A and B are shown apart, each in its own frame.
Chain A
C-alpha cells in the first residue's frame, strides 16, 4: 500500500520533509518559510569536535530543530521515537503506515543505496519520509531527490541504525494531531526571525553564530602554518563542502533565507523585509565568492592571488555583514 503523498523536491532534507508532511495535512507552506519559522539559519565552527579528523562546520541548526520548531510554532502536535530494538523500530513504522500516516525517519547516508558513492560519508542526520510498503520494499520521499525512491526493508533498517557520530537509533517522527485551526503564520514568522537573530548574535560562546564566523576567520588565517599545506587544504575543502553540500539551497542556506525574507515581506505586508532579503542575497553571493576562491586555493597550491590571509579577510567581511543585517532586523522588529 502507498499513502497518497505528494512528493516535492526541496533543497534541504529536514525542511523538505517538514513541508511535504505539512502539505499532506493541508497546511501549504513553502520550504523557505519552514526554514525561517524553524530558525534554521546558523553558523557553527567547533574546532574541538572532529569528524574524519577535521573540525566540524555547519551552516544550519542542529538536526531535528527545524521540524520541532515549525510544528511548535504552527501548533501541531508531533510524536518522536527512538529505538534500542531494531525489529521494534520496523514494526512501529509499519503500524503507522497501515494507519495511513507518513513517517519521517532519520538515517545515515553511508549505506543509502540511491546516493552516489562519492556522497556516502558516515553522516547520520539525513531525513526522509516513508510513505508506503509493498511486500518488503518501502517507498520513500527524499526531498533531495526529484522523484520517489525505493528501499528494501533490509536497506532501510541498516540506514536507520547507522553507526558513527550521532547514530540515529531508528529515530522516527510523525504528526499526532493534524492542526485544528489555520495556524497564525504572521506570529510564527516573527517568532522565527526573532529566534534566529538571537541564535546568530547572542550565544555567549565563540563557536556559534557570527562569533563563530569571526573565530573561523581568525583560525583560518594561520591554518597553513599550523596544520601544514595538505591538512589546511582539506579543511578548506570541508568548509566548501558544508557550505554547498547537497541540501543548502546554495551558499549555506543564505539564499533560502533570503527567499524566506522575501516571502515574509508579502505575508507581513512590510516592505522593509524586501531590503533585508536583498542584503541576505548579497551575503549569499559573498559566501559563493569565498567558496570559489577557496577552491582555487586548494586546487592550485601555488596560487599567489588568493592566500589564506585573503580568505580570512573575506570571512571577516561576511561576518561583519551578517552581524549588521541581523542587528538591523532585530531593531526593526522590536
Chain B
C-alpha cells in the first residue's frame, strides 16, 4: 500500500489522540509510518458488532419490562459483562449473580451487594436499579 492510499476515513479515533499507525510505501518504495484516522470497512465491522450487542440488550430490556429479567441483566448486556466477568470483578459467586438477574432475586439484594455490583460496572446504585443508561 502506498502512503497516499492509507485511508483517512474518520472513524471513532478521530476525536482522540489515538491513531491507527500504518506502514506504507513512499514514492521511493521505502516503508514509512503513517497515522490514519480510520478505515470504513473496519468501522463498519465495529458498528455491526455494537449493533448486535444493542439488539441483544434491547431484547433483555423487553424481558425486564415484562418482568422476566432484572435490570442487572440489562446493564450486564449493555456493558458486555458475562456472568463470569461480573463474578470476578465483584467477587460475588456466579450462582448468586444468576439469581440476581431474575426479578425476584433482584428485589432481595442488600445494599452492600448492590454497591459491589455498582463498583464493578462503574455506575451508581440508582442507575443500577433503573433501566435506562
Contacts and interface: CB of A to CB of B under 8 A. Distances in A.
Contacts of A118: 12, 46, 50
B24 to A, nearest CB: 7
B63 to A, nearest CB: 18
**Interface of B (DSSP majority class):** mixed
Given A116-B13, A237-B45, A255-B1, A32 B23 contact: yes
A142 B16 CA distance: 13
A288 B1 contact: yes
A284 interface: yes
Interface string A6-35: 000111000000000000000000011000
Given A9-B35, A240-B41, A299-B44, A114 B24 contact: no
B25 interface: yes
A237 B49 contact: yes
A284 B1 contact: yes
A114 B18 contact: yes
A215 to B, nearest CB: 21
Given A122-B85, A291-B42, A116 B18 contact: yes
A325 interface: no
Interface in B9-25: 12-13, 15-25
Contact of A256 (B15, B23, B25, B122): B23
B22 A255 contact: yes
Contacts of B6: 250
Nearest to A8: B33
A292 to B, nearest CB: 5
Nearest to B42: A244
B49 A234 contact: yes
B59 interface: no
What class of interface size applies to chain A in its complex with B? 35 or more
A163 B13 CA distance: 25
Interface stretch (A144-152, A170-178, A197-205): A144-152
Interface string A40-78: 000000000000100000000000000000000000000
A271 interface: no
Given A10-B21, A116-B16, A259-B23, A234 B52 contact: yes
B75 to A, nearest CB: 14
B13 A255 contact: no
B42 A9 contact: no
Nearest to A249: B23
A97 to B, nearest CB: 22
Contact of A146 (B1, B19, B41, B52): B19
Contacts of A114: 16-18
Contacts of A223: none
A247 B21 CA distance: 7
B124 interface: no
A146 B85 contact: no
Contacts of B40: 295
Contacts of B39: 244
A290 B30 CA distance: 24
A258 interface: yes
Given A116-B12, A244-B41, A284-B1, A11 B21 contact: yes
B41 A238 contact: no
Given A111-B122, A164-B84, A244-B39, 13 more contacts: A118-B12, A119-B46, A149-B17, A164-B82, A164-B88, A167-B88, A234-B52, A238-B45, A244-B41, A247-B20, A255-B1, A258-B23, A291-B42
Closest CB pairs A-B (n = 8): A295-B41, A259-B31, A163-B88, A11-B21, A237-B45, A240-B45, A244-B42, A250-B22
24 contacts: A9-B35, A11-B20, A11-B21, A11-B22, A11-B33, A111-B122, A116-B16, A117-B12, A122-B85, A146-B17, A146-B19, A146-B35, A164-B82, A234-B52, A240-B44, A244-B39, A247-B20, A250-B6, A251-B1, A255-B31, A258-B23, A258-B31, A291-B41, A299-B44
Interface of A: 9-11, 31-32, 52, 110-111, 114-119, 121-122, 142, 144-147, 149, 163-164, 167, 230, 233-234, 236-238, 240-241, 244-247, 249-251, 255-256, 258-259, 262-263, 281, 284-285, 288, 291-292, 294-295, 298-299
